[in-house]
């Protein structure tokens, strides 16, 4: 083995072709992953994002070789690895539940993969130092995992993954047990490390913020299927379907059911209860090529694209304040407009009373329309 630090070692491109996973629970077949095709490029930071039970962890475990693949193929750097055992695939994995070796000290835990490969003590020591300082673990190296907090244990697990010289680094919710301060810190370091070393990373999380912040590309998954694979920016502003739009963003996107009517060279959207009416023109994020008058659609608009205004305009609506939260950095406003409830991200410390009437303007450039049947974006 060559002597080197944490810089990138091997080329690695991960390709999944129609990968499926079924398992049986009480004789009932459960389809955990229903055919996934994706390619994680060499040096890419890819995030698998989705709610719990969406198949993201299962997919990652199949890449690692910890779960047999029901159907389909997985390629690492062009080589099919379906039949390789986990130990032979040269992948490193940081487990969500740490998976530390309790009888060993932190130092021994982190060094374990290198010791198992019988690297020289000098190499182990120098890499250990580098990883420990990256994750701020120098102080706890001689303690056993049981004496560390959940966050620190998770750091140790991450360190044990990063110290390796693997083709691909898999990380399963590696920041989930950190407090929010640490999470910002480690997120920043991880991203900086990736920008420096360009290792191939597949990162699993259910936290959309984390995904947006870290990923080169995000694979949004739900119900065992890939929903969208794209850059964070596109995922956020051009969600392919209803699920992606709803899952990404906090507070989540507002959805209003209604219909489209022709107007000028565009359309006018009217909500079902007629309380809300907005022009939808070419500058919106989605515009149907053609639509019959009265075609039902779902209008989506993000909370930060609605803002209280003083005077009404073409893009404004009248609403009634239901709840106003001042959260320091920002304010969240929940308002009612007919039968629709809208959540608005606003400035903090507005003086608003419950039941107060308010005019809000909706950014016409950021409107998204969905087909209510297919739930796809128009």
Considering only residues 313-352, where is the footprint of other proteins by CB under 8 A?
322-323, 325-329, 332, 334, 345, 349
Residues 113-152 that bind other proteins (CB under 8 A): 113, 116-117, 144-147
Residues 95-114 that bind other proteins (CB under 8 A): 95, 97-104, 112-113
How far apart are alpha carbons 310 and 359 in whole angstroms?
A: 7
Q: How far is the CB of 264 from other proteins (least distance, A)?
A: 29
Q: Of these, 302, 369, 370, 378, which contacts other proteins (CB under 8 A)?
A: 302
Number of H helices, E strands in the chain: 8, 20
Under rule CB under 8 A, residue 207 binds other proteins: yes
Q: Of these, 84, 257, 287, 309, which contacts other proteins (CB under 8 A)?
A: 84
Q: How far is the CB of 42 from other proteins (least distance, A)?
A: 18
Q: Of these, 38, 50, 67, 201, which contacts other proteins (CB under 8 A)?
A: 67
* Closer CB to other proteins, 39 or 343, in the complex: 343
* Closer CB to other proteins, 50 or 291, in the complex: 50
Q: The tokens 């990380």 sit on which residue?
A: 171
How far apart are alpha carbons 175 and 100 in whole angstroms?
A: 15
Q: Of these, 3, 5, 30, 68, which contacts other proteins (CB under 8 A)?
A: 68
Listed as own residue / partner, the contacts of 140-146 with beta carbons closer than 8 Å and 24 or more positions apart are: 140/106, 141/105, 141/106, 141/107, 141/110, 142/105, 142/106, 142/107, 143/105, 143/106, 144/102, 144/103, 144/104, 144/105, 144/106, 145/98, 145/100, 145/101, 145/102, 145/104, 145/106, 145/109, 146/102
Spell out a b/e string for 298-319, using b for 16 or more CB atoms within 10 Å of the CB, else e: bbbbbbebbbbeeeeeebbbeb
Burial class, 62, CB count within 10 angstroms (exposed 0-12 / middle 13-18 / buried 19+): buried
Secondary structure letter of residue 329 according to DSSP: S
Closest to 70 measured CA to CA, from 41, 36, 97:
36
* Closer CB to other proteins, 100 or 155, in the complex: 100
Q: How far is the CB of 145 from other proteins (least distance, A)?
A: 4
Contact 48/99 with Cβ under 8 angstroms? Answer: no
Q: How far is the CB of 262 from other proteins (least distance, A)?
A: 32
Under rule CB under 8 A, residue 356 binds other proteins: no
* Closer CB to other proteins, 215 or 260, in the complex: 215
Secondary structure letter of residue 23 according to DSSP: E
Q: Of these, 36, 40, 91, 162, which contacts other proteins (CB under 8 A)?
A: 91
CB count in 10 Å sphere of residue 370? 23
Read off φ and ψ for residue 35, nearest 5 degrees: 90, 90
Per-residue interface string for the shown chain with other proteins, residues 10-49, x marking contact by CB under 8 A: ----------------------------------------
Residues 249-278 that bind other proteins (CB under 8 A): 249-252
- Which part of the chain contacts other proteins (CB under 8 A), choosing from 38-46, 247-255, 269-277, 357-365? 247-255
Sign of CA dihedral 229, 255, 176, 216: positive
How far apart are alpha carbons 80 and 32 in whole angstroms?
A: 22
Under rule CB under 8 A, residue 233 binds other proteins: yes
Per-residue interface string for the shown chain with other proteins, residues 175-204, x marking contact by CB under 8 A: ----xxx--x--xx--xx--x---------
* Closer CB to other proteins, 208 or 259, in the complex: 208
């Amino acid at each position: 083995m060559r002597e080197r630090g944490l810089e990138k070692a091997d080329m690695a491109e991960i390709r999944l072709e129609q990968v499926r996973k079924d398992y049986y629970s009480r004789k009932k077949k459960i389809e955990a992953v229903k055919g996934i095709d994706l390619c994680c490029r060499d040096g890419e930071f890819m995030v698998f994002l989705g709610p719990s039970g969406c198949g993201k962890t299962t997919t990652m475990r199949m890449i690692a070789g910890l779960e047999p693949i029901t159907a389909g193929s997985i390629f690492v750097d062009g080589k099919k690895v379906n039949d390789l055992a986990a130990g032979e695939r040269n992948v490193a994995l940081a487990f969500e539940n740490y998976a530390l070796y309790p009888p060993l000290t932190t130092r021994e835990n982190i060094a374990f993969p290198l010791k198992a490969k019988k690297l020289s003590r000098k190499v182990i020591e120098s890499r250990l130092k580098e990883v420990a300082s990256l994750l701020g673990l120098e102080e706890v190296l001689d303690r056993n995992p049981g004496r560390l907090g959940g966050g620190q244990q998770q750091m140790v697990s991450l360190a044990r993954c990063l110290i390796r010289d693997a083709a691909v680094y898999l990380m399963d919710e590696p920041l989930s047990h950190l407090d929010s301060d640490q999470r910002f810190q480690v997120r920043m370091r991880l991203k900086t490390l990736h920008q420096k070393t360009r290792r191939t990373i597949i990162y699993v999380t259910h936290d959309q913020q984390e995904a947006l912040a870290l990923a080169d590309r995000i694979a949004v998954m739900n119900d065992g299927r890939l929903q969208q694979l794209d850059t964070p920016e596109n995922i956020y502003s051009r969600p392919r379907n209803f699920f992606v739009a709803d899952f990404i963003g906090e507070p989540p996107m507002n959805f209003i059911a209604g219909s489209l009517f022709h107007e000028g060279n565009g359309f006018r959207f009217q909500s079902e209860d007629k309380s809300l009416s907005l022009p939808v023109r070419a500058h919106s994020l989605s515009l149907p090529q053609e639509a019959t008058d009265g075609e039902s659609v779902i209008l989506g608009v993000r909370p930060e694209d609605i803002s209280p205004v003083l005077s009404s305009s073409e893009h404004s609506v009248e609403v009634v304040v239901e709840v106003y939260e001042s959260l320091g950095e920002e304010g969240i406003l929940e308002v009612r407009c007919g039968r629709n409830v809208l959540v608005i991200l606003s400035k903090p410390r507005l003086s608003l009373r419950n039941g107060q009437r308010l005019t809000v303007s909706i950014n016409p450039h950021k409107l998204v329309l969905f087909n209510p049947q297919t739930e796809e974006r128009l």
